[in-house]
Chains A and B, each alone.
Chain A
Amino acid sequence: MTNLKKLAALGLAGAMTLGMLSGCGSNGSSDASGDANASADGEKFVVGYCNGADSDVFMVARKDALIEKVKAEGANIDLQFADANQDSTKQLGDADTFIAKGVDLLVLVPNDAEAIVPAVESANAAGIPVVCLGIKAASGDYIYVGSENYDAGHMQGEYLAKTLPENAKVLYLAGTAGMQHSTDRREGFLVALDEAGRSDVEVLADLDGNYEMAKAMQITEDWIQKYPQFDAIVAANDQMALGAVEALKGANRLEGVQVTGVDGLAEAYTAIQNGEMVQTILQDAPGQATAAYEVMTKLMKGETSDKEVLVPFQSVTADNVADYAG
């Protein structure tokens, strides 16, 4: 018996070590010490890519698309990555490391528009060109590649302005409070309704779902208790829209409620095909990656790039979902 216990203990220790090792492997790629040959190899164009969060579905999709693109084109580009894990301070450190290494281009996926400014300025001072991907920096000299978040909300508003019945009641699932893109998406939505002359539409409630499915689900369940009838749930991303759908289905209240989200996740396409969601706004991850790649190749050849390369959002509804769903 004791021997058995000892054996089990040994096994546990082994599994633990393995777990630790694999944990290290998953995010150790960002360290400055990682690649000593890169600088010796003068041919390669070294890009330091500071991602906002490798746990974010969209940010990962865009990063993966860029890696694929560079590989597919056989470009002479050495992509090096760091993950800020939603931490603005860590992101500044990531950027500093790349600047100290003397990369040829710094790509930033800002965690926050204001907090990233010191990184942009240090890179400017060091003469390293900067691309802000997806989210703008509040100031500094950089090339912006991405979409206008305001437009995503605006497209949701445009669509619902056409489809909502008279005096419709709407609920808004907001993105994380205090983030610029959350504010922009809401603003775009409200302005679009206004522009379409739909002052009859009432926003019953507006709560922060933190871009999380579970949180959005809980809020929607509470709304179901409070409001006997509403016509639409507008979510600032697809995860929250899908959470709302689950809650509505669970309460048999999906019928007659239009749910719209942002991102263009595969799950959202399926939901549109099943008639559970009416719309998602595709934030084009491959499109943004391709645009970023084109900026890179231009800079690599010593050409100049436009200061702003916009990749438009696309409204995906039951009419055109077949073109998008793989």
Chain B
Amino acid sequence: MEKTKEKFNFGKFYGKYGTFLLLVVIFLAACLFVPDFFGKDNLTNILRQIAVVTILGFGVEFVIILGHINVALGSEIALIGCVSCMVMVAVQGSMGAGMALVVSILSALALGLLIGGINGFVITKFDIPAFIMTLAVTTVARGGALLLTGGKPVSGMDSIYKSIGQGYVGPIPISVIILLILFVICWVILNKTRFGRHLFAVGGNANAAEASGIKSKSVVRKAFLIDGLMAAIAGVLFMSRMGTGQPSAGVSYEFDAITACVVGGTSLAGGSGTITGTLIGAVIVGIINNAQNLLGINAYWQQIVKGLIILVAVIVDVVTKRAAAKAK
């Protein structure tokens, strides 16, 4: 037990260091070669753009550390976001916009917990691979979103609904503030709580963790609950940013979130990963997307570049981990 833990921190250190270096290099390159990139407005713009995917990344990080995965996040945010819009429209007349917003957000959180709960329950109860379970949820949630909305965008929410995704406190977008608060919360959960320690223990070696008295299934279920909550917050933020509930939006957002985790040094094999890394990973992807748009690079190239980033990040991760193991 003690041994696994030590090895772990070592790899973690390397992962963190490498990712940060990558960020610095890409940031400097963008400043040098992309006109209009460096500036307070554009940097705020990037943070605002990555908020949804990063929050999804925070949630799925917990799941990936356990060696599981969630490929349903894009559909989940569509379903949850649309439900929050529909609730808003349904109740804003009777209880006023402010109260309706609270109810709308609470119903989103409840639905997120429900979906996360179902994911965790089925995966642990029937020992189904998370990939398969969440693959099923992908189509169920997407179908549900289309069914509830009749395939049409939900509109008519009071303008207060938009304020979450579009509003500012001083010069800082509310979405960025939410992002930073969630970053701190997730960081604390992962690094300062017993649950966080259990998470790494189960992700590193479930049998060993079980032998030392950790209820691994309960840890998995809790991780999926957090994942569901993050999907709920991301879903509300996503629709609120656009000002409408879009049932067919969010396609492949799960892969953007997973990309952020992986670029941030999280191993898909489980057992390692940091919230800071995920944030940095998301910022890296955000900078690259932004830079490509500023340069007017066409869609075909953008797709190729996105794929290459994932590939390079994984190779760097594997190579540094191997080097770390040798050094030991």
Hey, which bits of chain A sit against chain B, CB under 8 A? 8-9, 12-13, 15-16, 19-20, 22-23, 25-27, 54-57, 60-61, 177, 205-208, 210, 212-214, 217-219, 221-226, 239, 242-243, 246, 249-250, 265-267
Contact = CB atoms under 8 A, between A and B. Distances in A.
A205 B152 CA distance: 30
Chain B CB within 10 Å, residue with most, of A26, A219, A246: A26
Interface in B161-207: 166
Contacts of A13: 118, 121-122, 125
Given A22-B144, A250-B166, A212 B249 contact: yes
Given A20-B140, A214-B242, A243-B242, A226 B294 contact: yes
Given A15-B118, A23-B143, A55-B151, A207 B249 contact: no
B140 A12 contact: no
B300 interface: yes
Interface of B: 35-36, 39, 41-42, 45, 48-49, 114, 117-118, 121-122, 125, 136, 139-140, 142-144, 146-147, 150-153, 155, 166, 238, 241-244, 246-251, 289-290, 293-294, 296, 298-300
Contact of B244 (A23, A61, A267): A267
B121 A177 contact: no
A26 B151 CA distance: 11
Nearest to B286: A218
A169 B247 CA distance: 33
A13 B126 CA distance: 11
Contact of A57 (B125, B151, B296): B151
Contact of A222 (B166, B238, B241, B294): B294
Given A19-B144, A60-B152, A226-B36, A242 B244 contact: yes
Contact of B247 (A55, A177, A243, A246): A55
A12 B117 contact: yes
Contacts of A27: 143
Given A12-B114, A23-B139, A55-B248, A207 B299 contact: yes
Contact of A218 (B118, B146, B166, B293): B293
Given A218-B49, A222-B290, A213 B143 contact: no
Contacts, number: 118
A12 B242 contact: no
A182 to B, nearest CB: 10
A266 B294 CA distance: 32
A177 B294 CA distance: 19
Given A9-B121, A55-B151, A225 B294 contact: yes
A54 B151 contact: yes
27 contacts: A12-B118, A12-B121, A13-B118, A13-B122, A15-B118, A16-B118, A16-B121, A20-B136, A22-B144, A23-B139, A55-B142, A57-B153, A60-B152, A177-B298, A212-B249, A213-B249, A214-B246, A222-B45, A222-B294, A226-B35, A226-B36, A226-B294, A242-B244, A246-B166, A250-B166, A265-B153, A267-B155
A20 B143 CA distance: 10
B142 to A, nearest CB: 8
Nearest to B302: A208
A148 to B, nearest CB: 24
A207 B293 contact: yes
Contacts of B45: 221-222, 224-225
B166 A219 contact: no
Contact of A177 (B249, B290, B299): B299
Given A54-B146, A177-B298, A223-B293, A60 B151 contact: yes
